Structure 1
Amino acid sequence: MNHVFRASVALAALAVLTACGNTDLERAGTGALGGAVVGTAVNEPVAGAAIGAVGGALIDDF
């Protein structure tokens, strides 16, 4: 698979995972976990976890 396709699928999965949880903290934790998985696919697990955590915490604000 090419990297763009893999990243697109991973981002879609991350969007679904960040919606899991009832509180901002739960969503941030789920987002961080999903982000780390996505980040590993593109060799940036720490950045992925950080982006996932922020996305998870803020997802209900949109």
Structure 2
Amino acid sequence: MAPSYLTRSRLAWASLIMIFLGFSLKFIVAATSLPLWLVPVGYFIALAGAGLLFVGWLMWKARR
């Protein structure tokens, strides 16, 4: 099996962690009574992670 972007790239793993943390921030805010304005911040973090994942994949494909 050939190496893929998700198995070989640290950028991909960092992006996936950003997506996970961004979406889980909603539940952290609800559980800890943090300010509600942090929920959209979490969504922005997840969106930035998705964009970074896509750009990293494009760079990976360009090198292969």
| TM-score greater than 0.5 by the shorter chain | no
Structure number, greater radius of gyration: 2
Greater relative contact order (Cα 8 A, min sep 6): structure 1 or 2? 2
TM-score (norm 1): 0.39
TM-score (norm 2): 0.38
